[in-house]
Structure formats: C-alpha cells, structure tokens
Amino acid sequence: MNITTVDIAVIGLGAVGAATLYQLSKHGKKILGVDQFAPPHELGSTHGETRISRLAVGEGFDFIPLVQRSHEIWQEIQQATDEKLFYQIGGILMDSGNQAWAKHGSEGFFERTVNFARRADIPYEVFDNKELKKRFREFNLEDTGQVYFEPSAGYVVPELAVASQLSLATKQGAAIKTHTKVLGLKPISGGGVIIETNQGVIEAGQVSISVGAWVKDFVPAFYRSHFKICRQVLHWLPIKPGYFKNTTCPVYMWGFGPNAEDFIYGFPSLDGVSVKMASESFIASHHADTIQRSVSEEEKENFLSKKLTGKFNGIDPSILRSKTCLYTVTPDSNFVVDRLPDFPEVLVSSACSGHGFKHSAGLGEAIANNLLGIDSMLSIKAFHWPSIDF
C-alpha cells in the first residue's frame, strides 16, 4: 500500500486552511494540504468576489489582534505576489436607532463596535444621517439612525486570497492533494495520525482540520450539536450610473431591527454596473452536502421587499444573479480552535460563525505556530472547546 508520510497535514483549504498551509510552509517541514474539491471553489464559505474586513470587531475584543495581523499579512502577500488582495476603501456600520440590534451573538453591536474602536485606538468617526447623506448619497438611513465610519476597513478578494496563499505554499515546499476526500482519522500508537482518503493513506505527525461546514464529519458525536450549518444567499443588483463607485462608496453593514436577520451588508460596485448585497440567515441545514444551491424567485422577491425597500438610492430593484454560501455557527457565534479531546495530534479550526474571513490570515498564522510549538503573540485560547454538559 502506498502511504504518504508528512509532518503536518492540513485538511480543508478554504480561507483558514490556505492561510495555515501558507504559514506552515515557511518552516522547512514536510507539509501537505488536502481538499475534497479544488480550491478556490464555490461550494463552501470562501467565495463570492468580496469579503468585508474591519478592525473594530463588535463580535468580541479578542478578535481584534487577529484582524489587525490579517491586514498586515494581506500586505505581505501582495508584495510577494503583486496581486492586490485588500482594498482599504473605508467601511460604515449603520444603526437605524429603533432598537439595539444583535449580530453574531453580540447584543448592542453598534455600541460595542464604537467601544472596541476606542479601546484599541482604531481611528473612527460617529455621525448622524445628515452627515451620511453628505458623504455617501447611496444610503437612506432613518432620522433616528447613527453611523460608525472606520477608514481602515475595506474588502478582501476571497478567491484570490486563497489562490495566492496556496501558490506561495507550494513555492515554499508544501504539497497539495485536491479532489481528495478524507474518509476517517485514526491515531497511531506512539503518536501521529492515519488519514484514510479516497486517494490512499496519509500518515501525519499532526493534522489541522479546517473544513468549514463539513466540521461535523470530524468531531466527536457529543460536539456535533454545537455546530449549525446555515445556508446564505448573495445577490447582485443593477445600479444607476454614478452610484456605488469603488473610489467613493465604502463597504457597509446596516442593522435595522432587533433580530440577527434584521441586517443587510454590501459593497461598492466592482464592474460599474452591478453591486453585491446580502443579508444573513440562521436556519439550520442538515449537512453541507445536501444544501440547496439554487436560489428561488421567492427568495429573491423577499430580499427585495423585506431587506432592500426604501434603504438605498441608485439601485434598480431587480436581481441579476444570486449565489449561495455556507456559515458554520456556534450558539455564541464564537470560533472553535482547539485540539480534539483525547486526540491531541488533531487540531480543529472551524465555526467562524459568519465573521471569519477577515481573521483568516492571522488565524492561520496562530494555528501554524501552535502546531509548530512556536510562541505567538496571537492566542487561540479564547477559542477553545466550550464546556459540554453530558
């Protein structure tokens, strides 16, 4: 039997996996990346042209060092590849002001964002809807609303970010196996992991699992209920000339009600004729393999009528195209980055809960350092397994 032997295997090469593989490849070890598809692809959580990145992360103060380091790494990758990954065009967070709204497990998300920016010395402004209309004519915020503006925010190009890190990883000696589905993991007596795949057997000293919405296939049964797989829908809408210009319009997030779904986010136009917008859904799906990938006309109409109406200028209320992606969500919307109980050679990094991409580059570095036993300024202790009542 042909067996591939490596020091560390990374299973799943989306945002976090590609970042982990890239960081591991810098250290002269025998590193292998494995993915059941051929990343970057559109079947997981890392696609759709753009991802918002912001430094004052209202989801929790522990996330801020990760996203700050990620911004530095994007710049490093850009210098190494001559590919522009991050567009620092500024970002706004809008609160309609009717009721405090929650996002990703954080009540009072607007106030938390402002507070965290102040604590972390992140430059920002807070202003009202009158000032918003002077600066950005695209938005119809209510008179009761308020705006947080962060100049350091912007968007990352997810597919290019993944492809660039995988390319750099291979140039630095890492190997990659695509279209390789992992069937099971077994401990090796004396240490190490046997990885059974549809393409043969791999033996690794350690394994990093970053499989996103397929995480339930890799964790013990008593942890599976901690993870909820949620289907998301992204829409592209036509715009009128002069609106949502990439040079003048920021990325934006808007909370307009008390519920997590009372929310819309979006980007400036990349092509001058359309703009990407989306909301969020936290309805549980059974498994990533059975997700409905097509988007119904009813879903499109609901988005236009329930999320879009009255909020924006310069948009034609129709939908050019739609795509789906996946969130893996925990009850508190925190990450899980920790070694498997009773199987310490395996580290799981998943459940980024819909706000993970902005942290992925820094998180990959923190995971790599943990696997290599290197002291790191970035800690993953805040993301260890939660206590489970049996």
**What stretches of the chain adopt beta strand conformation (E)?**
3-11, 31-34, 51-53, 86-87, 91-95, 125-128, 146-150, 154-156, 175-177, 182-187, 193-197, 200-209, 228-238, 251-255, 263-266, 274-278, 284-285, 321-329, 336-340, 343-350
**What is the predicted pLDDT for the residue at 389?**
47
Q: What percent of the chain has pLDDT over 90?
A: 87
Lowest-pLDDT range of 69-73, 94-98, 126-130, 204-208: 94-98
In the chain, the domains with their CATH numbers are: 3-46+158-226+333-383 (3.50.50.60)
In Å, how far are 14, 125, 181 from 38, measured between CA atoms? Answer: 10, 42, 11
Structure token pair of residue 365: 């570095």
Rg for the chain (alpha carbons), in Å?
21
Q: What is the pLDDT of residues 203-248, one digit of tens each?
A: 999 999 999 999 999 999 989 999 999 999 999 999 999 999 999 9
- Listed residue (139, 158, 156, 157) closest to 147, CA to CA: 139
What's the average model confidence in pLDDT over 244-257?
Answer: 95
**388 burial level (CB within 10 Å; 0-12, 13-18, 19+):** exposed
Whose tokens are 């960081």? That residue is: 23
> Between these two residues, 37 and 59, which has the higher pLDDT value?
37
Q: If pLDDT is split at 50, 70 and 90, which confidence band does 352 have?
A: confident
pLDDT given for residue 296 in this prediction: 97
Model confidence over 161-219: pLDDT tens digits?
A: 999 999 999 999 999 999 999 999 999 999 999 999 999 999 999 999 999 999 999 99
pLDDT in tens, 122-132: 999 999 999 99
